[in-house]
Amino acid sequence: MTVQSLFDLTGKRALVTGAGRGLGRAIAVALAESGAELIICSRSSDDVFSVVGEIGRIGGKAEALVQDVTDIEGFARAISAQAPIDIFVNNAGTNRPKPIGEVTVEDYDAVMDLNLKAAFFAAQAVTKRMTESGTRGSIINMSSQMGHVGAANRTLYCASKWALEGLTKALAVEVGVYGIRVNTICPTFIETPLTRPFFEDPAFKEAVLSKIKLGRLGQPSDVTGAAVFLASDASAMMTGSALMLDGGWTAE
C-alpha cells in the first residue's frame, strides 16, 4: 500500500455526532474530502442539513440524522437501523467553566450527561452495530488536553474528560478482539465561532497562550488531519491511545 492509500476512506461510512457546527462540522467535511460517506448527526435539523448540503457541494455523500445523543434509547434505535458504520467520531460535548463553589447540580448533569453518559452509550450502540456487522471499525472519542491535566474553573469539564480517557482505554481492551480500534483526540483551545468571544478577554488569551508552547491558538485544521489519521488504515495499529494536539500544553 502507498502512503496516500493508507489515508483513503473511499467506501467507508462515518458517523459524526455534534456535527452541525464547530469541530464536528470541520471533521465531517474532512472525512468526506477523504472519500468517506457521512452520517451527520446533530439535534438541530437546520445545522444537519446545512452540513449535508456543504458536503454535497464538494462532491461528497452525506445523509442526515437529526438526533439528540442524550436520548439514549432514541440514539440506539437510530444506530441499529443504520447500515454498517466503519468510523465513529464521538464528538458531541459541552462545557460550563466555573469555580467549583459555583457549580450547580444542573451544571453537573448538563456536562456529565453529554460529555460522559451520552458518549458512553453512543459508543455502546456503535460497537454493538460494528460487532453485529463484523466491521473492523475505528471509534474516535473527542477528549481534550483537560483529560490529562487540571485547570482552575474546569473541575467539572476535567472530570468528564478524564473519565472519557478511562472509558477509551477500557473499551479498546474489550473490543480489540473484534478488530475495533478506540482512541481519543485531545485538542488544546481551538479557535471557532463558539470560542472566539472568550479570546476577546486579553487576560484570558494571554493565560492560554502562556501554556501553549507553540504560541498560538489551535485551528480546526489542526484537528481534522488527526481525525482522518485515526479513521484510516494509517493508524491501523493504534488503539487505546490519546492523540495530543495541545501545542505542548501537557509537556511540562
Q: Which residues are designated catalytic?
A: 157, 161
Q: DSSP labels for the chain?
A: --HHHHT--TT-EEEEETTTSHHHHHHHHHHHHTTPEEEEEES-HHHHHHHHHHHHHTT--EEEEE--TT-HHHHHHHHHTSPP-SEEEE---------GGG--HHHHHHHHIIIIIIHHHHHHHHHHHHHHHT---EEEEE--GGGTS--TT-HHHHHHHHHHHHHHHHHHHHHGGGT-EEEEEEE--B--TTTGGGGGSHHHHHHHHHH-TTSS-B-HHHHHHHHHHHHSGGGTT--S-EEEESTTGGG-
